[in-house]
A and B are shown apart, each in its own frame.
Chain A
Amino acid sequence: MDIDDRLREAGQRWRESQGPALPPPSLERSGDVAPRRQWLRVLAPAAAAAAVAGIVFGIASLHDATTGRPAVPAGALASRPPSVSSTLPKPSTSTTAQPSLAATATPSPAAACVGSQLRPSLGGSGSAGGAGHTQILLKNVSGQPCYLARVFPLEGIKAAGTATRLVFPGDSATSYPSPVAPGNVAPGEFGAFWVTTQLNGCPDGARFSSLLIEVSPQQNVRMLWPTSMSTGCLAAESAAGPFPQPVPSIP
């Protein structure tokens, strides 16, 4: 038998041996990702943050117990009130939900955040499904709560000072971890937004020395350029909201 015929027959037998087509993933729920994946993507960073918080608080508390000195929270946890850091936290859920939910569940929106109230920093970055995600944290360094909801215009600044407006082909709803719930950010707490990049089949984007965030008219904030935003091409930018996000009810 000719090899061509043999291959055709083998192919035919292989196709017949396959079961029915897999069902497509559900696109019905909020945003652009299926519910299971979305929950994983929203809860995984929160769980990781909670775990880190637990470890840091645990170490801090143990350190306090041995030295007798007051706790000095580090990094993102610096804003936690001493009363929280002075006791060992309960596992993950307590650190994830309660302090930040209390901060974000303010019933009425405060005034919109302005540039002078926010200090930006790089949160984290990761990739999944051919997309890269960069989180930008915005700490409320003022004494007043402020409201985060907008998609901030962004610019890349070269070392020479030239500014380039960043253009995102996708709308904010297509950005990880869409949707971002708006809300108030209490003094000392964090807000965040995310930049999604397309990794597959995309050349790396331009590198800048800093990222400029137009929080409010003539009140920009600036931070070092996250290198992860130059990996692949820019795809979408999420709206900003309080971080950690309030946990929505499971439908």
Chain B
Amino acid sequence: MSTTTEDAPKRLPTREEFAVELNRVMPVVTRVARRFAPPGDAEDVTQEACLAAWLYRHRFDEGRGSFQTWILKIVLNESYRTAARRRRNGLLLGRLADRSQVFAKAPAGEFDRDLERLIARLPRRQREVVGLYYFIDLPVQEVAALLGISSGTVKSTLADARRRIQVQLAGEEST
């Protein structure tokens, strides 16, 4: 019986190699945690996600996407898990409340409150796509890989979100 390279066990990164990769992606990991985790939980979410990535590094498959995409998925999942736990604990009223608290804490004029408020009202998938594309500044292909959808779906979701925001903005400006 011949042994192919596929049969060989995958070599796991050493701690040093993993730390180098982690340092490389920390800016974007931080941004995703700050964007999607409940207020005040970004640091914990980041730490939990990084440790989970280290613990389960054997599950990372280069053939299925980049390390950055893989760890961002963990950060997103951890953010939603934390938000769900907070809601269960009755500490927050919901996602809208989460976001409005973020804005309330932000210094005035630092970012567009109206726009953020409208984004917070979007359905979850649209909010994710808008957040990852416009705010985290990920390319369409990476957003697609991260959410497990096609690039075409990302583009159409962005278009739907823009249309919805546009309509709501127009409605508010006319009143």
Contacts and interface: CB of A to CB of B under 8 A. Distances in A.
B115 A7 contact: yes
B135 A3 contact: no
Contacts of B111: 10, 13-14, 17
Determine chain B's interface SS by DSSP, over half rule: helix
B81 A130 contact: yes
Contacts of A200: 74, 77, 81
B52 A13 contact: no
B161 to A, nearest CB: 9
A25 B51 contact: yes
Contacts of A4: 162
A169 interface: yes
A8 B111 CA distance: 12
A99 interface: no
Interface stretch (A32-40, A78-86, A88-96, A223-231): A32-40
Given A18-B31, A201-B77, A129 B52 contact: yes
Interface string B135-147: 1110000000000
B137 A11 contact: yes
A28 B43 CA distance: 19
Given A17-B110, A129-B52, A27 B166 contact: no
Contacts of B162: 3-4, 7
Contacts of B51: 25, 32-34, 37, 129
Interface in B25-77: 26-27, 29-31, 33-35, 42-43, 46-48, 50-52, 54-56, 58-59, 74, 77
B58 A15 contact: no
Contacts, number: 108
Contact of A130 (B23, B33, B43, B52): B52
Contacts of A3: 162, 165-166, 169
A131 to B, nearest CB: 7
A2 B107 CA distance: 25
A22 interface: yes
Contacts of B34: 18
Interface residues of B, number: 46
B52 A131 contact: yes
B19 interface: yes
Nearest to A201: B77
A42 B115 CA distance: 45
Interface string A24-66: 1101100011100100000000000000000000000000000
A23 B29 CA distance: 10
A226 to B, nearest CB: 20
B133 to A, nearest CB: 8
Contacts of B165: 3, 7
26 contacts: A3-B162, A6-B112, A7-B134, A8-B134, A10-B116, A11-B135, A15-B137, A17-B107, A17-B110, A18-B31, A21-B27, A24-B23, A24-B50, A27-B19, A32-B55, A129-B48, A129-B51, A129-B55, A130-B48, A130-B81, A131-B52, A169-B58, A170-B55, A198-B56, A200-B74, A200-B77
6 closest residue pairs by CB, A with B: A11-B134, A21-B27, A21-B30, A11-B135, A10-B112, A7-B134
Interface of B: 15, 18-19, 22-23, 26-27, 29-31, 33-35, 42-43, 46-48, 50-52, 54-56, 58-59, 74, 77-78, 81, 106-107, 110-112, 115-116, 130, 134-137, 162, 165-166, 169
Given A17-B107, A23-B26, A129-B78, 18 more contacts: A10-B116, A10-B135, A18-B34, A21-B26, A22-B26, A22-B43, A24-B19, A27-B18, A27-B22, A32-B54, A33-B55, A34-B47, A37-B51, A129-B55, A130-B52, A130-B74, A131-B56, A174-B58
